[in-house]
Structure 1
Amino acid sequence: MSRYDISGWQNSYQEGSDAQVLKNKLGIVTREDMNRAELILLRKLYMAVLNHALPSGPLTVAHIREWHHRWLGNVYAWAGHERSVNMSKNGFPFAAADRIPALLQAFDRQYLARYTPCQGMGREALIEAIALTHVEFILIHPFREGNGRISRLLADVMAVQARQGPLDYSPWELRREHYIAAIQMGLMGDYEPMKQCVDQALPRG
């Protein structure tokens, strides 16, 4: 069973993968090998962005698309492009595919332009900025794959801009149900649970 329920013409799996791995340029057929490849490439992206290409000005959706393409462009033909299929996870539906362009425009204007750049932010202001942008990005879920990891990179970039990061996500992994509930509360406009998650992950001192 795949991690997501995906419908539409982009529901294309790699031949020989038993519908476990999305069609890819590398011919990878096992989830284990794909996870390993994606992790290696993600580490390279982190090194490039945080150490050499940290944006000094406001973050934008264009930055996010670029990060996604730099990360997965050698793996998936659709890297950096919004998904055109509807997706859900554990029965929780993400934004409908046909709404994604408009939602990203609103995300750019209402969240990224408002809360970034994060230079000079105190801890509480940064927690609010990361929590709100994280929830709203996850709810949009603009890409076919890698949304959670790109959302964490976005949070880390914001924290590093404020000289308070990157974050330690181990509390989120240990209390996965709490994190998922925080996302769902954000859908109803209650960001306090996600602020608590960010507070736990953001380094102190």
Structure 2
Amino acid sequence: MAVLNDQFSDENGVRLNKLGITNTQDLAQAESDSSIPRLKLLNQQGGIPGGQYDQAHLKQVHERLFGGVYQWAGETRADREFQGHKDTRVTGFRETMTYAPYKEIPERLDTIGAQLNKENNLKGLSPDQFAERAAYYLDQYNHTHAFRDGNGRTIQATFTQLGKEAGYDVDFNRASPEILNRSRDLAIVRQYPPAEAAKNLQPLKAMFQQIITPTPGAVGAGLRDPSLAVTPTPELSPAMKAMDARRELEVTGYRAASIVANMPGAGNREQGIKLGQQVKAVNLDPKAIQGAAITNFQQAADKILKHPAMKDTPLDLADAQRLKVASVQVLQLAEGKELMTPQRQKQSITVTPKSHAEAQPVFATAAREVAKVLEAHGQGPAGARLREVAKDVERNPVIVGPNAENVKKSLDLAEKLPGIGSNKFLDELRSSSRVLEKAPTQERSSSSAGRSSGGIER
């Protein structure tokens, strides 16, 4: 089927090629006959010498694999301005898989490559660790979907090289195409919220566990030496966090659009269609969320959350709540603000105070961090009240009267936010407030009331 404005294809939808082939079946065979031997040879040679897993690296891989058939081999979707999307039923429901905006492909590939380089390209990892991190990066490259065709083989060659350079033999032939495609699609559609992101990647991780084996010999063992690993896993760059926030809006926005469009009632179908169009617009340009779009996202989510017919559809309700959070995050990005609820953070230790002296600084820090989360989720007044309680506690280590009520209300609101139940600072807010709500007793003063450090846990 021809696609409008597809500069990679002729008027009949056949990819432009060097061989003069004019039907898709013959072209598919010619592409396979040419690219598979090239893939095997590239893997035997160890990939692209000195490759940094950025846009230059992947473009070279694509050109090496498909240069025998296509004059556009090595060009990304950005070079010929192609967007596109794909439907899947991998979850049992019709899902829309969207890919990175074509204009952003070069910078996204460079961003992913830079993050991977920060992890020393996964050297020094155990098999389980390598499978987990490789799953994360394969999903990032797959969502970027740099090329009009040939993404799968390009990614396979890239990860074969990545594995070799990290002490692992990666053989995609050990997994069936059905398993590979299913695991990639499940990662793209993101059934689980950011707080449970590992569940979205579990099928891909399992696939990697099936297809990797440690490279034998001293060289392979040296590449897996734990001293080469970067620990803890580096925090995601602001650009990576922004990409993930926008992906969260894409998947939940399209699902919400479908839910609203299929609700009974006048105007719902039109509202759902309009919402889907706004999701597409924001995917291409996050600044499109400013103005009416953010209001429409929030109203659509509220419609789902409050509709009596939805009370028995927990997945739809969860997606609606995720959309509310994601739309606020993307608005923050559009306004040039730093995201207040990052999806990946370093692990940190939760402090459990036992005395008023210990609880005072813990509460003040935790209250301000939870206030940030509340404000980022549209609960500004609750966040402001919690900040005022923190100021009072810094002056007097006790929580009584209106302050106790404000803390309770803030906790109730925060606990309803998606994924925040295991938040380090929320746990510290609970434990320190329980101490401070009791009548103070004679306590030994602490010689150092150190502040809790680290970011908001997700």
Which TM-score applies when normalising by structure 1?
Answer: 0.79
Deviates more, 1:47-56 or 1:58-67: 47-56
Question: Cα RMSD (Å) of the superposition?
Answer: 2.9
| Contact 1:24–1:76 (8 Å) recurs in 2 | yes
Seen in structure 2, the aligned counterparts of structure 1 residues 157 and 72 have a Cα distance that, compared at 3 Å, is same
Shift of 1:58: 5.8
**Which fold has the larger relative contact order, with Cα–Cα distance below 8 Å and residues 6 or more apart in sequence?**
1
Aligned counterpart in structure 2 of residue 184 of structure 1, from 189, 197, 200:
189
The structure richer in helix per residue is: 2
2:207 to 192, 197, 203: 197
Structure 1 distance, partners of 2:22, 2:192, is 35
Which of 141, 145, 155 is the matching residue for 1:141?
145
Aligned length: 197
| Residue identity matched to 2:36 | R
Give the AA of the match of 1:156.
T
Structure 1 position 53, deviation (Å): 4.2
Q: Which sits farther off after the overlay, 117-126 or 89-98? A: 117-126
Q: 63, 68, 73: which one pairs with 2:62? A: 68
The within-5 A match list for 1:156-171 is 156-161=160-165, 162-171=167-176
In 1: Cα distance, 2:184 partner to 2:6 partner: 31
Q: Which has the larger radius of gyration?
A: 2
Q: Quick check: 1:139–1:187 contact (8 Å CA) kept in 2?
A: no
CA deviation after TM superposition for structure 1 residue 103, in Å: 1.0
2:47, 2:157 within 8 Å by CA — same for their partners in 1? Answer: no
Deviation at 1:97, TM superposition (A): 0.9
Distance of 2:124 and 2:69 partners within structure 1: 37
2:27 to 25, 34, 38: 34
Conserved? CA contact 1:100–1:140, under 8 Å: yes
Q: 1:125 to 1:135 in 2, by over 3 A?
A: same
With the length of structure 2 as denominator, give the TM-score of the two structures.
0.38
Work out the percentage of aligned pairs sharing the same amino acid.
24
Residue 168 of structure 1 aligns to a residue whose secondary structure is helix
Query: Which residue of structure 1 aligns with residue 7 of structure 2?
Result: 10
- Aligned with 1:92: secondary structure? strand
Instruction: Pick one of 102, 126, 130 that aligns with 1:126.
Output: 130
1:51-90 alignment to 2 at 5 Å? 51-54=44-47, 59-61=52-54, 62-83=56-77, 84-90=81-87
In the TM superposition, what is the alpha-carbon distance from 1:157 to its structure 2 partner? 1.9
Instruction: Quote the residue 1:92 is aligned against.
Output: 97
Asked whether the 8 Å contact 1:157–1:166 carries over to 2, the reply is no
